[in-house]
Structure 1
């Protein structure tokens, strides 16, 4: 496909951080957009800029009748809805994350029943084997295999659920010949993200002037923090260019330490703590994570456009403009742990 003009598009989880940015871009491209969200973590405020131009359905996509209603008369489904959060959330709420397996299959089944042309699934870097992420080794899509014994070893229950979401979508593509694509998202961040995720959590602590400033782990663990606008562009390009459920990475190839991110935040806010408390008893996930983006470049013509400096600047400006300092100081612990 070459144009989104007049395309009927459903974005599940469309009131979420990533989903709301995608909704805005689809509206700008001329699509007729419907959002389906239960607002457990998404917010109406995230859709304020386009609320007059979209349809919003409030409900639980694990319920067949709601999923059926949401997918009716749609051409394309971007499936972003999931029970998820940052490392602390997925470590402490594995049963919540496991329900994503039911959610995904109900959405796929409803989409096929209603004659949807294509589904794009927002997958995760958590699908990759954890044992190969203790050293610096860029992750390629073929490092996950459903055909080889021992070919899958995902990160926490959340990662296994995302992996099953991928396998299920491949099965629907095989059986029903529906166009399907999936994007493995690597540590997205940006405006509208909540404080349970790494970069915004680090921002909240600095904005609240937490001192000693708390960093989970020794801070030398790395991630490839990818700005939300790069993620949403990858999702759109995947829907436009991939039909056979081939997964693609959307991430940066740099290894960025948590300590480096914190330093950039301090510099941007012109505030520095007297002491930093590295909390080595906290869950930190894998040691190193960065994406090999060769396949995305080849199939989508995609590569990230935002530097870390640009992304942090955009996100921190949004955070400071939308959060009162006293509110963050008084509610910091709650903000960091509840989605």
Structure 2
């Protein structure tokens, strides 16, 4: 087990939704944390609670000089930086998502050159083959296979980039002996996420009183929505327990439909939805997705601690405290489509 006290840690994308929660966790455990972020989607406000206890570098990690500066003098890198967004974003901006391949390898190369001991990569459930996600079949890590012809079939360019990030990281372990670990994140949500992602988009629509209330698809598509603090704990445990780039899933194993989420959001708000309009022409991704977390339980001793009800309540409470209802209402369309 790694003791994080006084560990020199870099979190790339540390001002992002997930990254900022990870930074807080590491600071609480006594780590000396550096954040590298270009603030294209993350914000300094996300780091407000720890701003005086972390080093913040503003720059583009695709630039070698900045990546070298960011990785210099650190022991562990948590690599979360990526060009990403919700389903609409990754469907409409594939070239942007493709740049993640250059970003990942620049970070890995700089880390190896600077003698970093350990890299943990935030991968995605989008790395899994899409054709096995039309029925309810829990996704196990061995369903992605680099050694078998046809063993990979990722979800859009974003998923392929994540998959290549995994394979590149494993190559750095093979060639340089760096300890590496990979966490495939399944549909994280929680405070500080933006409105281009499903849960926050649905909360924003409900909070703004959208009528008719718009749901992309028929609402029966499922995901395993996983609260952000469960995700950040999985990332830390992977860094502590995995050294050879073995990927592990971090997600709940329950299939949760969009319709169920909408119902619970309105319950949290103490309100009733008006008429619901199903937008069947919108991109919704795969039909069903949930994680097999057997490997995470066995290797990391990890299982989710937050129920959907607990996580949604915490997220709705944060959103309604942080956001002005009239401002959300007047800017709803912009919020839902901008990264």
1:25 maps to 25
* Superposition map of 1:245-260 within 5 A: 245-260=245-260
* Superposition map of 1:84-233 within 5 A: 84-233=84-233
1:15 maps to 15
Whole-Å Cα distance in 2 between the matches of residues 226 and 167 of structure 1?
25
1:221-252 Cα distance to aligned partner (Å, 9 max, x none): 00000000000000000000000000000000
Whole-Å Cα distance in 1 between the matches of residues 274 and 109 of structure 2?
55
Whole-Å Cα distance in 2 between the matches of residues 307 and 274 of structure 1?
27
- Report whether the alignment pairs 1:60 with 2:66: no
Runs (5+) with no aligned partner, structure 1: none
1:285 maps to 285
For residue 183 of structure 1, report the CA deviation from its aligned partner: 0.0
Runs (5+) with no aligned partner, structure 2: none
1:71 maps to 71
1:162-216 Cα distance to aligned partner (Å, 9 max, x none): 0000000000000000000000000000000000000000000000000100000
1:234 maps to 234
| 1:219 counterpart SS class | coil
2:4 maps to 4
1:55-96 Cα distance to aligned partner (Å, 9 max, x none): 000000000000000000000000000000000000000000
* Superposition map of 1:43-58 within 5 A: 43-58=43-58
Whole-Å Cα distance in 1 between the matches of residues 321 and 129 of structure 2?
39
1:267 maps to 267
For residue 272 of structure 1, report the CA deviation from its aligned partner: 1.7
Whole-Å Cα distance in 1 between the matches of residues 156 and 337 of structure 2?
18
* Superposition map of 1:296-307 within 5 A: 296-307=296-307
1:109-148 Cα distance to aligned partner (Å, 9 max, x none): 0000000000000000000000000000000000000000
What is the TM-score normalised by the length of structure 2?
1.00
- Report whether the alignment pairs 1:322 with 2:322: yes
The count of residues paired between Structure 1 and Structure 2 equals 339
Whole-Å Cα distance in 1 between the matches of residues 200 and 336 of structure 2?
9
Whole-Å Cα distance in 1 between the matches of residues 177 and 205 of structure 2?
48
For residue 270 of structure 1, report the CA deviation from its aligned partner: 1.7
Whole-Å Cα distance in 1 between the matches of residues 30 and 195 of structure 2?
32
| 1:138 counterpart SS class | coil
| 1:151 counterpart SS class | coil
Whole-Å Cα distance in 1 between the matches of residues 333 and 272 of structure 2?
20
Whole-Å Cα distance in 1 between the matches of residues 296 and 268 of structure 2?
32
Whole-Å Cα distance in 2 between the matches of residues 163 and 323 of structure 1?
35
2:295 maps to 295
For residue 273 of structure 1, report the CA deviation from its aligned partner: 2.4
- Report whether the alignment pairs 1:35 with 2:35: yes
The runs of at least 4 consecutive aligned structure 1 residues that moved more than 4 Å come to: none
What is the TM-score normalised by the length of structure 1?
1.00
Whole-Å Cα distance in 2 between the matches of residues 273 and 34 of structure 1?
43
